[in-house]
Amino acid sequence: MNKDHRITPEQFENDVRRIARQLWPEAEFSGATKHDGRERDGVFDTEDCRHIVEATTSREKAKAEKDIKKLVGLASKLKGRSGTKAVRGWFITLHEPTSDQRQVAQRHRDIINTLSFAQFQHRLVDSHAYLAARSKCAFGSVRDPGTGALDASIEYVPLDLVRSDSEGLVSSAELVELVMAGRVTVLLGDYGAGKSMTLREIYQGLKHRHHKRETPTFPVFVNLRDHYGQSEPAEILHRHARSIGFDNPSHLVRAWRAGYVHLILDGFDEITALNIQGSWRKLKPNRYRAMEGVRKLVREHPNLASAPTHDSGSRAGLLIAGRAHFFDNPSERRSALGLPEDAVELTLNEFTEEQIAKYLEAAGVPGLLPEWLPSRPLLVGYLAATQLLLELKNDLGDEFDPVVGWEFLLDRVAAREAEIEAGIDGATVRRILERLATRARASDSGLGPLRQESVVQAFRDVCGYDPDDQGMVLLQRLPGLGVYRDEEESRMFIDDTFVDACRAGDVVEFITSPFDFDSGTLASIESAMGSLGVGMAHRRVGQNGFSEGKVNTAIQHAARQRSSYMVADVAKLMMAAGFSVRNTLDVEGALIPELELGRSGADVSDLHFVNCFFERVEVEASAEPSEIPIFQGCFIESMEGRVSRQDLPEGKFDKECVIDKFVTAAHTTAKVLDLDLPLGTRVCLTVLKKIYERRGSGRRENALYRGMDDRARRFVPRVLQVLQSEKLAFKYRRKSDTIWMAGRDRRRAGRLIAAPSTSEDPVLSKCGKLSG
């Protein structure tokens, strides 16, 4: 056992009694008692047997003689009173029994069992058998990025874990300590961000501590995706044990109830398949109901915060992970998961430049990612393993426009797979990916999962025939998709940017031939296309020379088919292209992440959003009120560009619309510009906030000037030069606009914004020295 901790006799006795109550549940309310005026560590009376327990931390022979004499004396008395009921004594030692202790006990081996604490716990559950069985099964989405094998051998590169309460960083080693201290911890991150890989690392750390006998508590890693529809903790743990081949599921349950399990729950966002059609008002209660099993696991997890600790000083911890934006806000997340007030919330950052360099060096492809490419570990791993990063670097150079970059990357990815599987060209592989991206839109996340029949149907849709053996091999290894459930051979897109780039293909295909597009596929779409997808579709529409009339024909057909999401996608494309909507069209019950309304030259006033949910709507000052859509009964989480309901364009937002908050550039900018810092520094912070608050979508350069007076505006061009030189921002041209995107080091930007007065980052000193 760990010598750094000293357990008291009372603590040890409590640990032994905790196990005894689980071993003999009929006596769950029994414990220490007095017989013949003497203290007894435990007497547990079951239907068939009376169990007498003495526990000691001492290695001394004299103490063993005293305790065993007490056991034998009481056993003899009870045996005479118990009739046919058996009486059994248990002499439990903290450490392996010494030869002297065994010698004393050996004289009474007919009624006394002599065991170490580890051996006594083993009667509760064979933790080593569980850990051996668990190591052979999947840990969430962890796979080898090149082969897809379960035993991912690539070196784990620790990611930054940011505490939501302090913005401080937590290492993986510190997270292990949090779990061992009995804390309830939530790990948040998007799909492909490395949650499962990080959880596996924590699991291995806890497992290592248990194998070294530093603690009797061991980790149990549950993939929540395997437990949809289950609401009882025992039911969840039973199924988990059976699924990994552990022979005694009930033993795992009683070990958990006794407080000897660190419970790791991966994927709270994967245990529900929400039907998001209809009113946005139904989403929150649906999510709450889906979390019932998790909530009960949290509520019933042994709370040892006030109970005596184990010999290692550890308590039974609980670690839960899932996508950050599955819930609308932190308050809903805490309520749905049933988190205690002192729960720790951590957010998993994407790779920093240093971590990328380390990862790529370990993968044998040293170099840096293009700025527009997400640094999500699962995507980076695939591109590194397939050598596509080298092609990007050699052929694309310093291209900063994400639309151009993703067009190139998708072509290269598809061409590479076509080379491996002869008989199918790269363009066909890309069309299959694009159709799968549309099929994935039937899920609330837009990433999947995609069952095997959906994957095969996508091949059939594109090629017009069933896949042969070569085609089936291709479908099993399609780029950009990861394994969701091995037993179902289901797949899931590994990155939301990747899948958004793929979504554009079917939108353009629909505009090209709306009446030939499969109506079933159209009706299945239940998630919106993002800004990257809109940008890529807009580019291809322009390349194809599509007219405003042709696009209007397509959007009207989508409306007749009641495909609200296709209507919304094409409408956003039309706004980007400056095309007007010619007839009244309804978008009903859709969840749309963001909508920007400015002076685009497009009249979309005939577009009606009815009972839709928006995360963000921006109505720019330049927007022509008569040309923007009408909103009826919608929920808008964040309204930007307007200060109040009275400031909204008249007649465009009815009284049934719910707007959670108004955010104005002038208001947020004024807060920063009022700080007691040099003006150049204040402008730097303002610009950083504007660029980094729009993850992935970028900001037009003219928007960075909003809310500033003339003097502050003069600093913006030079501040942007500093941010670009420090790799905190980069720009590209799209038509007549200059777009600024956030750099990869979000952690650095976050520290600058959070504590500018104490930061020693050179970017602030450089901007502070700028003169007006």
Non-local CB neighbours of 105 within 8 Å, separated by 6+ positions: 64, 68, 91, 97, 112, 114
Tokens of 702: 């003219």
- Distance, CA of 747 to CA of 34 (rounded, Å): 60
144 lies in the same domain as 245: yes
Whether 541 is covered by a domain: the verdict is yes
Residues in the chain: 772
Residue ending a domain, choose from 522, 548, 579 = 579
DSSP state of 452: H
Residues of the chain with pLDDT under 50: 1-5, 273-280, 304-312, 666
Q: Distance between CA 200 and CA 204 in Å, rounded? A: 6
Spatial separation of the C-alpha atoms in residues 739 and 730, rounded to whole Å: 8
Domain boundary residue among 579, 606, 635? 579
Longest dimension (CA), the chain: 100
Long-range contacts of 28-35 (CB under 8 A, 24+ apart): 35/74, 35/77
Calpha distance 32→11 (Å, rounded):
13
pTM: 0.60
With tokens 């797949």, the residue in question is: 491
Residues with Cβ within 8 Å of 85's Cβ and at least 6 positions away in sequence, in order, are 48, 49, 50
Token pair for 510:
């629909």
The C-alpha atoms of residue 137 and residue 483 are separated, in whole angstroms, by: 13
Looking at the structure, tell me whether residues 538 and 673 fall in a common domain: no
* Same structural domain, 85 and 233: no
Exposed / middle / buried, residue 755 (Cβ in 10 Å: 0-12, 13-18, 19+): exposed
- Which of 54-85 are b and which e, b meaning 16 or more Cβ less than 10 Å from the residue's Cβ? bbbbbeeeebbeebbebbbebbeebeeeeeee
Compute CA 96 distance to the chain's CA centroid, rounded to the nearest angstrom.
43
N-terminal to C-terminal alpha carbon distance within the chain: 66
Quote the CA–CA distance of 757 and 746 in Å, as a whole number: 19
Determine the distance from the C-alpha atom of residue 287 to the mean position of all C-alpha atoms in its chain, rounded to a whole number: 16
CB 265 within 8 A of CB 224: yes
Single out the residue in 532, 549, 579 at which a domain terminates.
Answer: 579
Cα(1)–Cα(13) distance, integer angstroms: 16
Give the C-alpha separation, 248 to 235, whole Å.
13
201 φ, ψ (degrees, to nearest 5): -65, -40
Strand partners, 113: 90
Q: Residue 666 has what pLDDT?
A: 47
| Position 178 in a domain | yes
DSSP string, 137-163: S--TT---TTT--SS--SPP-PPPEEE
Q: Which two tokens stand for residue 746?
A: 């979000």
User: Does 160 share its domain with 256?
Assistant: yes
Tokens coding 707:
């809310």
Owning domain of residue 213: 127-348
List CB contacts of 6: < 8 A, sequence separation 6 or more. Answer: none
Assess if residue 527 is contained within a domain: yes
Beta sheet of 585-588, edge-to-edge order: 585-588, 607-610, 630-632
264/197 Cα distance (integer angstroms):
13
Sign of CA dihedral 111, 114, 117, 123: negative
E-strand stretches of 146-289: 161-163, 169-170, 184-188, 218-223, 261-266
In three-state secondary structure terms, 708 is coil
Same domain, 442 and 509: yes
Does residue 555 sit in the same domain as residue 477? Answer: yes
Which pair of tokens denotes residue 309?
A: 């600790």
Residue 134 belongs to a domain: yes
Residues 215 and 240 in one domain: yes
What CATH code is carried by the domain that includes residue 676? Answer: 1.10.10
HSE toward the beta carbon, residue 137, CA cutoff 13 A: 20
| d(C-alpha 531, C-alpha 553), whole Å | 23
Q: How far is it, in rounded angstroms, from Cα 609 to Cα 631?
A: 5
**Spatial contact of 52 and 40, defined as CB atoms under 8 Å apart:** yes
Structure tokens at 318: 């609980």
Chain position carrying tokens 């991912």: 152
Q: Is 476 part of any domain?
A: yes
Instruction: Residue 293: give its domain's CATH number.
Output: 3.40.50.300
Is the residue at 599 inside a domain? no
**Separation CA 377–CA 635 (nearest Å):** 34
Counting beta carbons within 10 angstroms of the beta carbon of residue 433, is it exposed (0 to 12), middle (13 to 18) or buried (19 or more)? buried
Is the domain of 447 the same as that of 574?
yes
Question: Domain check: are 107 and 156 in the same one?
Answer: no
The Cα-based distances of 397 to 365, 390, 416, 536, 653 in angstroms read 16, 10, 19, 20, 46
> In which residue are the tokens 């149907």 written?
457
Q: What total number of domains does the chain contain?
A: 4
Q: Is residue 618 part of a domain?
A: no
Whether residues 13 and 46 fall in one domain: yes
If asked whether residues 119 and 145 sit together in one domain, one would say: no
CATH number, residue 36: 3.40.91.50
User: Do the domain assignments include residue 206?
Assistant: yes
Residue 220 and residue 86 share a domain: no
| CA distances from residue 531 to 462, 503, 642, 714 in whole angstroms, order as listed | 25, 11, 22, 30
55: left (phi over 0), alpha (psi -120 to 50) or beta: beta
